[in-house]
Structure 1
């Protein structure tokens, strides 16, 4: 009997009967057919158009929109589900629906879990043409990860492995990769570019018996390279088909028109990830170059929105927040206008909502939409973890980073964010160990030293914290956050003169940005409550971002029961987090 079990429910695909704990639940035939379709695409975004084609057909003359809305309402009634807090059926505005709960198919006395996953590792694509084009190999690797992650996230887990030497990998190395990363398959490749052509080699290995499933070499003109990652991903899915990935499919990118624009965009993202004032300027130049080549290249608009959002924050401190917000909104609107199904745009929307708009529920929804469109979108998982920490949902925040780490276990940024989430959760021993391990992966990341300083400061190891902040500032002299945190640790260690002098450096940046929330942190450590609350009020008015720092920084803990702190929380829409 073809049954699908989820929670207390069992659904018969053949008879369209629904039972709860063995008792029949009334559901009409058309809603039941919609439920069957959602169950068979469990964990994946299903668009309204896909439902229309599957249930009503392309030539239907009924009022489809009204009928589908009716069906979803009836399903929710039958499952006792709520649209506002869904357990089973999630609505993704303007996109479609997703069945959230875990489900399993039952038949012939055996149970087969729908979430049965295979594990594929992707080694960073090697640039054999020299380091000058390394940005292309990095971008191609990221595109491959994204493409494979979209095949069937409920059944395929994609992990990024370490860089490997050229040539045939010895069996011992394959055994190590299989063991350490828990892999079934391994995809590796290389790229060589010239002005006129590109050669991409790809190879898929079955790590269970160390056999080569397929190997392919693509010799392409530069103008043909745009679709190669999708072609390779399609070959991988075909090689894994059998009972593992039946029906796996890839969505095509609507914005892939110009090879030159794509190349400029990859350069922009390469520099954006470095996140300093100079590299962000370079990033913007490349995004604008992409738009000069192709004015409808949607990812470049999303990239510019990302740049402006960061420029108005204390992370970069390059613009006044209101000016940055206006620019970011303009570019984000254009990106979504061109391609509403682009995960990057929804991810940026979530960041803007928590940094500038104080729309916490909207931000969470934006991150979820981004992840429904690209389940392996690492930036969305990391920024979502910050939001969850602010809300006090610390275990969920850690789980969000762990999900990113499953995909990129060797990424210094992902590992740094795990230490950050552990710090926010009060797991200081774990956080310190994690941040030190992250520095072993990349000893030149200024932000890791800054977050190490925050973790040390949280347990009152101020001298060690000061040393960590000084290393961060040495690596990035423009790092406004680290400078302010250094002042706070000086204040906490009793060096009032040093703290005030450092605060002068922070306040001096008011001509170009709003450091108000950072000034408030220093006054909090100095014990000057009135000045601290005055600067917090100023931070709200100026949209000094991120405004949520007082909720995740230990310096403010002594003031959280103060009625003025509740007023601050009310002003940013978080009154429910106030201590009563």
Structure 2
């Protein structure tokens, strides 16, 4: 496998088997089929680091991602750019172009080399047509690091010309402004920004926290760099929601909101910033309309931006709009199959969640099993299978799924709470009570959402305590409350007056 999120939390980055499955599916796509949609497919291969050691990889990897972002904006809808993390699969693999075409279905590849010396950067870039392995264009650029965005715009403009893209007026204006030096960066700030992106891609709790440190350093050095603010917003939002649950929402979400709004003040065309702000509305303010508007705006800006599609589908599920959610999930599947296979497991997990909420438990299990074939350690797949098995009265299987190998107790509080609930449903009250006490002890060391205590007390039949903890969760705006109106586990108590009052407070009464 290559760089991935977390063996235990579930990979955001694909396992090699996941990529292999996707590559195999690509081999059955004929060249004629590839051209039927009229799209052009391009891969930006990881830029080679010509500096002394691997400690500079963050810089070359970061510039690769930045180029992908720039090129993706050229003509959305017609140009498909292979996502960063799929492209990184080729970093240490010298595969022939014929194999890349077979695996990725691309028409062109951009290859490059990067060397940095103090505040100067040199990039050599080549655009190659894969079909006949013709080099269409090559150029070497050397600039001050402060002019790196102008350099990226020059490369993007050259690519657009070579592959005959027609740029819309706003995109042409944006590139021209960058080329004229309209958005110079602070060298130290930009360096911190690339380090932050490098850590954020690891998607581990510790690495996300590290990314925040570098994002904050980046915005201190360059307060007008919009992508640094949007990255900071994403990082803070992620730490406040499941499965990470690392920071209380009242600590993390206001910071995420402020960073997202600042990013949009500087550049309202960034899908990540709109998505981050939508996450805050969705998971913290419970402003469903504003969240939906934000996700849809991100998708409008980049219809292939998979994170916005996935988060939007979860919002639709929260609101009980299952048919729309399924449509959004299927659209996301098309996107990830085409350009971003690292998210295939996340799509399986979302599909399993949709089946679970629709009370189609057998289908939820089957969908989760498909995902586990690609990544056997994906946390959310085990979680969804455990919940589904519990509602199928297959308690032994539920408990087994909620105790995946290699995950120590306390690492994922949501999993511990779900396991305790499954034990309670199975009549193992002593084990459930032990889980409850263990969570209380854990809460003295780190944040544990009050929702999880309400879940366990409910499983133990103490409805009074369950409601009290859910009231606390409402005060802290805990992430898990979003599901009160739709989670099948709560069907038995949903009509209680106290419960209906809670649902109303969250804004889900309808």
3-state DSSP of counterpart to 1:188: strand
In structure 2, the gaps of 5 or more residues are 1-34, 356-362
Query: What does residue 413 of structure 2 align with?
Result: 480
Asked if 2 retains the 8 angstrom alpha-carbon contact of 1:155 and 1:245, the reply is: no
Q: Is the 8 A contact 2:313 2:326 kept in 1?
A: no
More strand, by proportion: 1
Tell me how many residue pairs correspond in the alignment. Answer: 451
Query: How has the CA–CA distance of structure 1 residues 381 and 142 changed in structure 2, closer, same or farther, with 3 Å as cutoff?
Result: farther
Matches within 5 A, 1:265-414: 265-391=193-319, 392=322, 393-406=324-337, 408-411=339-342, 414=343
Q: 1:152 aligns with which of 75, 79, 100?
A: 75
Structure-1 residue corresponding to 2:44: 122
2-side partners of 1:227 and 1:234: how far apart? 10
- TM-score, length-scaled by structure 2: 0.77
**Structure 1 gaps, min length 5:** 1-112
Instruction: Establish whether residue 570 from structure 1 lines up as the match of residue 504 from structure 2.
Output: yes
CA 231–562 in structure 1, closer or farther in 2 if over 3 Å, else same: farther
- Aligned alpha-carbon RMSD (Å): 3.4
3-state SS of 1:370 partner: helix
Matches of 2:264 and 2:506 in 1, distance apart? 26
CA contact (8 A) 1:149 1:375 kept: no
- Structure 1, residues 230-250: CA drift from partner, whole Å, max 9, x if none? 322222111111xx5465845
Is 1:540 the counterpart of 2:463 in the alignment? no
Q: Provide the C-alpha distance between the structure 1 equivalents of 2:436 and 2:203, rounded to a whole number of angstroms.
A: 23
The whole-number CA distance in structure 2 between the counterparts of 1:370 and 1:280 is 22
Q: Which has the higher contact order (CA 8 A, sep 6+)?
A: 2
Structure 1 match to 2:434: 501
1:122–1:171 CA distance, 2 compared to 1 (3 A): closer
Per the TM alignment, residue 418 of structure 1 is displaced from its structure 2 partner at its CA by 0.5
- After superposition, the C-alpha distances for 1:523-568 in whole angstroms (9 at most, x for unaligned) are 3444544443333333222211242133564433444465655443
CA change 1:154–1:311 in 2 (3 A) is: closer
Q: Deviations over 1:481-535 (max 9, x none)?
A: 2222232333334332222222223334556646122223333444544443333
Asked if the contact 1:450/1:469 (under 8 Å) is kept, the reply is: no
Q: Which of these residues, 352, 355, 361, is aligned with residue 423 of structure 1?
A: 352
Shift in CA distance, 191/525, structure 1 to aligned 2, threshold 3 Å: farther
Q: 1:176 maps to what in 2? A: 102
Contact persistence 1:419–1:434 (CA under 8 A):
yes
Partner in structure 2 of residue 105 of structure 1: none
The answer to whether 1:133 aligns with 2:62 is no
Tell me if structure 2 keeps the 8 A contact 1:435–1:452. no
Higher share in helix: 2
The one of 451, 468, 471 aligned to 1:517: 451
Q: Secondary structure at the match of 2:125?
A: strand
Whether the aligned pair in 1 keeps the contact of 2:310 and 2:329 (CA below 8 Å) is no
Asked if structure 2 preserves the Cα contact closer than 8 Å seen for 1:507 and 1:515, the reply is no
Contact in 1 for aligned 2:237/2:280 (Cα 8 Å): yes
Does 2:186 match 1:263? no
Distance 1:402 1:354 in 2: 22
Separation in 2, partners of 1:271, 1:245 = 35
- Structure 2 SS opposite 1:478: coil
CA distance in 2, matches of 1:114, 1:256: 40
SS at match of 1:296: coil
Are 2:282 and 2:288, in contact at CA under 8 Å, matched by a contact in 1?
Answer: yes
Q: C-alpha displacement at 1:417, in angstroms?
A: 1.8
Deviations along 1:205-244, one digit per CA (max 9) or x if unpaired, are 3234443322334344444433333322222111111xx5
1:147-191 deviation line (CA, Å, top 9, x unaligned)? 2222121322222345336797535414423xxx33333333343
State the secondary structure of the residue aligned to 2:407: helix
Return the TM-score normalized by structure 1.
0.68
Distance in 2, matches of 1:476 and 1:500, equals 14
